[in-house]
Structure 1
């Protein structure tokens, strides 16, 4: 029997993932650092659990015995991704996460050949912008016959963010704004905003350049040498992180859908545009990450560093109910 472990199960998005996995009737093991919290969640979901941290390699290896797929939901991923990736490679376990931190993808790229030799897959980005935008880009490119010179992608976020996201944004995200230019990551001027129409009735809006991991994943799945990533969203909350709620309520998520847009430009200057409409990002990530894990458990895996779009195809995003694409 193939075994899934959800690590960081007691966190905000980890909890959404666990609840979705449970609703599908999947068998899984809970993992995390807090024994007390795991015990409570275990009683609620009737799932076994293993408590362990990420600072001791032997403890990780022991916890992963018998596990085939690890879904890492424990951020900041700058602290958890490397020891868990290394352990998964050593144990022959497929590794998944939904990090928004560029360093996680640079790490997976560095460890890709090592994982390939071991027959394991590293798939950071099994939810969030990487899954959304990666599939949207492949959808656009299927209808472009000319050589694509550049891709601009934008994410329109909505609603409150979780405490974990706020901490990551404050402590882990690079202060530098990057773009991919002629296959290399270079600095991007944050004042270089671009207009995107998200097909939500509000017309074109100015989107701010940001460093998203899609600078690596879109390039990996398409080979397009010039990529820029943008975000449009609400103003950040001024609430103290320490006293803020763990994350948005179910009602807040339901009232705050996400949208994504892509502009592909050919060498001749022609453009192709498409927009993706989906549920709130946290809901999307919880569902999509579990669907990734379910498919990998069923044997849909490729060795080395991979992306959801490359492994599962452009229609993968449709596994999340309410997600659809409109060609502009």
Structure 2
């Protein structure tokens, strides 16, 4: 089996991904900028490590060349995705990340042709909401004839990690977008819609999620709206730098995530499906490690792809105790 390099392996989510990769016997190489923290993590996990900064182009390419697969867990992804994607294409290394911001996916779209020519797969969102929502969407649209519209809502429970808050704050895409007739366009940010995640209908807010790109790409649906409902202190009013690394294991065990997808077919019939899963900060590193394992085992396609395209609609349900249940809409 080839080499897996996890960049950002000492961060909150990256450290958990490295542990899962170790447990899967992938023997990951830990990557990052700080030699001292990397050395300590590598000793704890009995792994090798490699030190380089994404701002040093030659060092990045040298660091990636031995790796068959790169898993980028280093946010903000606005800073790390482009140099690591570009270097991965030059080095012939498959690129995976856990980004939740639209910008990484736009970069992957732009790099699709170069990656395809190089035989390199770009798989942003290999873990996290893109993987879970993509699988839920594919499952739901398969239940209607010639799907025309998809509405999908994510329930984010519990607190946000410091890294996620900083990444979200630096996201270039500030407008509320949706997909209309195949193109991204500005949506009404006040167009709140009710969804039932299994505990009664709640008001969900339109937000710009990367699934506008990934679900459109995977399913071909031309009209997609994405929403979020946050409970607890998911979006803190404080400064991101003042937040803790992330929720504790005990907090994650209590704060489960949910999602609802509503698909409408050409005949007007609408169905919905509901996903129930572990906390996003538990799901993301576990799904990313399993995605890396599958890519190392040969599940790779050149160019920009989504988890559901590569691993199938059932991928999310292989992670922890994730379940999807079906409903009929009235």
* Distance across 1 between alignment mates of 2:172 and 2:157: 19
- Report the counterpart of residue 297 of structure 1 in structure 2: 296
- Report the counterpart of residue 167 of structure 1 in structure 2: 166
* Distance across 2 between alignment mates of 1:213 and 1:12: 22
1:205 maps to which of 202, 206, 217: 202
* Structure 1 residue 265: Cα displacement: 1.0
* Structure 1 stretches of 4+ moved >6 Å: none
- Report the counterpart of residue 80 of structure 1 in structure 2: 80
- Report the counterpart of residue 129 of structure 1 in structure 2: 129
1:216 maps to which of 193, 213, 219: 213
- Report the counterpart of residue 99 of structure 1 in structure 2: 99
* Structure 1 residue 285: Cα displacement: 0.4
* Structure 1 residue 25: Cα displacement: 2.1
* Distance across 2 between alignment mates of 1:132 and 1:243: 29
1:268 matched to 2:267:
yes
Moved more, 286-295 or 265-274: 265-274
Structure 2, unaligned runs of 5 or more:
none
* Distance across 2 between alignment mates of 1:194 and 1:316: 28
Structure 1, unaligned runs of 5 or more:
none
* Structure 1 residue 244: Cα displacement: 2.0
Question: What are the equivalent positions in structure 2 for 1:1-328 lying under 5 Å apart?
Answer: 1-144=1-144, 146-172=145-171, 174-199=173-198, 202-234=199-231, 235=233, 236-328=235-327
Moved more, 16-25 or 246-255: 16-25
Contact 2:317–2:324 (CA under 8 A) maintained in structure 1: no
* Structure 1 residue 170: Cα displacement: 2.0
RMSD: 1.1
* Distance across 1 between alignment mates of 2:39 and 2:88: 24
Contact 2:166–2:241 (CA under 8 A) maintained in structure 1: no
* Structure 1 residue 103: Cα displacement: 1.1
Q: TM-score, normalising length from structure 2?
A: 0.96
* Structure 1 residue 173: Cα displacement: 5.2
Contact 2:135–2:315 (CA under 8 A) maintained in structure 1: yes
Residues 90-127 of structure 1, C-alpha deviation per residue, up to 9 Å, x if partnerless? Answer: 11100000111111101101111110111110000111
Q: TM-score, normalising length from structure 1?
A: 0.97
Contact 1:291–1:319 (CA under 8 A) maintained in structure 2: no
Three-state SS of the structure 2 residue aligned to 1:261 is: strand
Corresponding pairs, count: 325
* Distance across 1 between alignment mates of 2:111 and 2:85: 8
Contact 1:131–1:309 (CA under 8 A) maintained in structure 2: yes
Residues 167-218 of structure 1, C-alpha deviation per residue, up to 9 Å, x if partnerless? Answer: 122222522100001111100111101111112xx21111000000000000
* Distance across 2 between alignment mates of 1:241 and 1:122: 29
Contact 2:131–2:316 (CA under 8 A) maintained in structure 1: yes
Structure 2 vs 1, CA of residues 127 and 148 (structure 1 numbering), >3 Å: closer, same or farther? same
